[in-house]
Amino acid sequence: MQSDSPIVGAIEAGGTKFVCAVGSGPGELMRAREQFATGSDPHLLLAEVVGWFRAQESRFGPMAALGIASFGPVDLDERSASYGRITTTPKQGWRDTDVVGPLRRAFPGLPIGFDTDVNGAALGEGRWGAARGLDDFIYITVGTGIGGGGIARGRLLHGLVHPEMGHIPMPVLDGDRFEGACAIHGRCWEGLCAGPAIARRAGRPAEDLLPDDPVWDVTARYMAHALATLTYVLSPRRIILGGSVRKAGRLGQDAFLARTRAHLLQVLSGYIASPVLTPDGVAGFVVPPALGDDAGVCGAMALAHDALASRRGTA
Amino acid sequence: MQSDSPIVGAIEAGGTKFVCAVGSGPGELMRAREQFATGSDPHLLLAEVVGWFRAQESRFGPMAALGIASFGPVDLDERSASYGRITTTPKQGWRDTDVVGPLRRAFPGLPIGFDTDVNGAALGEGRWGAARGLDDFIYITVGTGIGGGGIARGRLLHGLVHPEMGHIPMPVLDGDRFEGACAIHGRCWEGLCAGPAIARRAGRPAEDLLPDDPVWDVTARYMAHALATLTYVLSPRRIILGGSVRKAGRLGQDAFLARTRAHLLQVLSGYIASPVLTPDGVAGFVVPPALGDDAGVCGAMALAHDALASRRGTA
């Protein structure tokens, strides 16, 4: 990305906070950044966000486009009447909330890109981070919940709605009697590996677990089964693992990822022949985000750049 | 597809038989069709196949392109030295077999499309069958084994290798002690729902089971868990279920699909809001192939048409 790329606006719309930025890319290309508590009044929050972007435009000049990477479920179908909305979320105040509409009205004519938070993060990592040059990869976030997005043959995964990878059914490890923590599915991936699941299994928050607590290993083993599923279904060239859980508190990210990778090779049992699915190669297959906690807001910037290119007919 | 479409050649390269055809499409657009036992001597078989296509060219004129939809694993990466090969198959005589090379040498300059059998079938169903007009869908075959291919945002899934959907890890249904029939993974999808798994669980071939045999229901329930996984990971607009198992012997295809769909809705528990994931809509979400047992060879024809369009720069 050249430093003379246009200045765009970016919103990472999360369930806890909205991270907003203006700039042309990550790091020093990001000119300004602010965050706002999501709260339960979308009308109020979006007005605040609009005000912040107007203030940035008076400092840096007009934005060339805006990108929004949002928590969901969202409607991504541009032919749909509810395009640009957060739809069936249980989050108080946010059900059936039009996110794109108020921004379109505030900035008439501005190209606006809109996608899920995890698809946004995938796009950001593909543009500037851990998936540069790859046409097929997945971005997973494992934190309070689990979500996944990705790119297949160079295009973001959409479809009927959009992927909801956190809710895949899971096997039972020998002797494991934990009933899972997902309110809807019990023992789905999110019900076994998200932060609240780890806390419920261990009886205390993940960050309080000692490095040798067996809960870390059982979590890594379930992670491996889920990553094997994604590998079999989508055949990604790389899986980027974001979110807070992979930082693994006192155990640490490196140790947690190393265990997850070793278990993944065991689950795959050599079935898929590839140099990256070997003890020497797998550290390049399951990786942390290169943009760190900025993957989401950078992804929103990438969505903005793509919306601009699409408007210009160069995408 | 117009009836004045060019005549192309098609090979559905299966582990048991190679189905070859020339024509421009399915049904009456297929001018000739022949099948050959796969055997254990690829050199001999491919010479026979070449001879058959030459004979058809003398009847119908030169083929404009050739499509090959092959059993795998295969190398689909055109930049790879082993592009066009069947790679690590356990099938006797076929490991590391170049399939595209001999055909390229026999028909110099002919555009040749090459993909997996299930990606081919997906493409065929998208062009002429049960997925016309859809950009995001999956084709599954459940027979001696389980394979899956698909299209996301209009493009066939490739990636690191290609999908191997039959080997996803599976949950355990309450009280089920069956250890699974997959030689590598035991209780993967293939190890629970393919023909040999059903036969091992029941103690006799699937076609001998009575309609009320409980093995049908447990198979449909596991199918539902696998289809839920695919729905969460890829968000397809439709899943096409091919292969012999869905015909379900004396139970019948309609009853087996109806049970699978009902269990699928139960597994999803309403998490994904869509009109097709409701009791009224789900019969349009999980469907049999419209091309029936011709999905594969028609898919190879579609691969040929696409290779021709790509050569002409119109794809």
Q: Is the pLDDT of residue A191 over 60?
A: yes
Which residues on chain A are in Cβ contact (under 8 Å) with B153? 152-153, 155-158
Do the Cβ atoms of B277 and B265 come closer than 8 Å? yes
Compare all CA atoms of chain A with the CA of B174 and give the residue at the minimum distance.
A172
pLDDT at B4: 62
pLDDT at A174: 87
Please tell me which residue, A314 or B212, carries the higher pLDDT value. Answer: B212
Which residues on chain A are in Cβ contact (under 8 Å) with B167? 232, 271
Which residues on chain B are in Cβ contact (under 8 Å) with A239? none
Which tokens sit at A136?
Answer: 């097929």
The vertex-A56 CA angle with A51 and A61, nearest 5°, equals: 125
Cβ–Cβ below 8 Å for A164 and B228: no
Q: Which of A87, A162, A225 sits opposite B169 (nearest CB)?
A: A225
The vertex-B111 CA angle with B108 and B117, nearest 5°, equals: 115
Q: Is the pLDDT of residue A190 over 80?
A: yes
3-state secondary structure of B244: coil
CA distance B48 to chain A (A): 30
Q: Is the pLDDT of residue B284 over 70?
A: yes
pLDDT at B46: 97
Cβ–Cβ below 8 Å for A160 and B184: no
Q: pLDDT tens across B149-190, in order?
A: 999 999 999 999 999 999 999 999 988 999 999 999 999 999
Q: Is the pLDDT of residue A89 over 50?
A: yes
Which residues on chain A are in Cβ contact (under 8 Å) with B165? 232-233
Q: Is the pLDDT of residue A1 over 60?
A: no
Distance, in Å, from the CA atom of A235 to the CA atom of A214, rounded to the nearest integer, reads 30
Q: pLDDT tens across B11-20, in order?
A: 999 999 999 9
Q: Which of A73, A87, A160 sits opposite B136 (nearest CB)?
A: A160
- The contacts found for B86-95 with CB under 8 angstroms, 24 or more apart, are B86/B13, B87/A273, B88/A273, B89/B15, B91/B15, B91/B38, B91/B40, B92/B40, B93/B39, B93/B40, B93/B41, B93/B42, B94/B38, B94/B40, B94/B42
CA B162 to chain centre: 12
Which residues on chain A are in Cβ contact (under 8 Å) with B148? 233
Which residues on chain A are in Cβ contact (under 8 Å) with B166? 232
Cβ–Cβ below 8 Å for A163 and B235: yes
User: How many percent of chain A have pLDDT more than 90?
Assistant: 94
Which of A87, A96, A179, A232 should one mutate to test binding to chain B, selecting the residue with the greatest count of B CBs within 10 A? A232
Q: pLDDT tens across A94-152, in order?
A: 999 999 999 999 999 999 999 999 999 999 999 999 999 999 999 999 999 999 999 99
Cβ–Cβ below 8 Å for A274 and B171: no
Residues 6+ apart with CB under 8 A from B78: none
Decide: pTM greater than 0.90.
yes
Mean pLDDT of A228-253: 97
ipTM of model over 0.90: yes
CA distance A220 to chain B (A): 15
Q: pLDDT tens across B187-225, in order?
A: 999 999 999 999 999 999 999 999 999 999 999 999 999
Q: pLDDT tens across A132-145, in order?
A: 999 999 999 999 99
Cβ–Cβ below 8 Å for A167 and B232: yes
In total, the C-beta contacts within 8 angstroms joining chain A to chain B are 150
Q: Is the pLDDT of residue B3 over 90?
A: no
CA distance A16 to chain B (A): 21
Cβ–Cβ below 8 Å for B272 and A73: yes
3-state secondary structure of B45: helix
Which residues on chain B are in Cβ contact (under 8 Å) with A159? 136, 152, 234-237
pLDDT at B2: 46
Least confident among A238-242, A271-275, B133-137: A271-275
Q: Is the pLDDT of residue A2 over 90?
A: no
Phi and psi at residue B249, to the nearest 5°:
45, -125
CA A56 to chain centre: 26
CA distance A249 to chain B (A): 28
Phi and psi at residue B57, to the nearest 5°:
-65, -35
Q: Is the pLDDT of residue A3 over 50?
A: no
Q: pLDDT tens across B87-127, in order?
A: 988 889 999 999 999 999 999 999 999 999 999 999 999 99
Q: Which amino acid is at B100?
A: V
Cβ–Cβ below 8 Å for A168 and B233: yes
Per the listing, tokens 């006797």 go with B92
pLDDT at B1: 45
Predicted confidence band of residue B5 (pLDDT cuts 50, 70, 90): confident
pLDDT at A4: 62
Q: pLDDT tens across B243-274, in order?
A: 999 999 999 999 999 999 999 999 999 999 99
CA distance B236 to chain A (A): 5
Cβ–Cβ below 8 Å for B235 and A172: no
Q: Which of B185, B229, B274 sits opposite A168 (nearest CB)?
A: B229
Compare all CA atoms of chain B with the CA of A155 and give the residue at the minimum distance.
B153
pLDDT at B72: 87
Do the Cβ atoms of B88 and B74 come closer than 8 Å? no
Which of A96, A118, A168 should one mutate to test binding to chain B, selecting the residue with the greatest count of B CBs within 10 A? A168
Q: pLDDT tens across A169-185, in order?
A: 999 998 899 999 999 99
Q: pLDDT tens across A46-78, in order?
A: 999 999 999 999 999 999 999 999 998 999 999
pLDDT at A5: 87
Which residues on chain B are in Cβ contact (under 8 Å) with A184? 269-271
User: How many percent of chain A have pLDDT more than 70?
Assistant: 98
pLDDT at B90: 84
Compare all CA atoms of chain A with the CA of B176 and give the residue at the minimum distance.
A172
Mean pLDDT of A276-284: 98
Q: Which of A172, A231, A235 sits opposite B172 (nearest CB)?
A: A172
Distance, in Å, from the CA atom of B236 to the CA atom of A229, rounded to the nearest integer, reads 16
CA distance A187 to chain B (A): 9
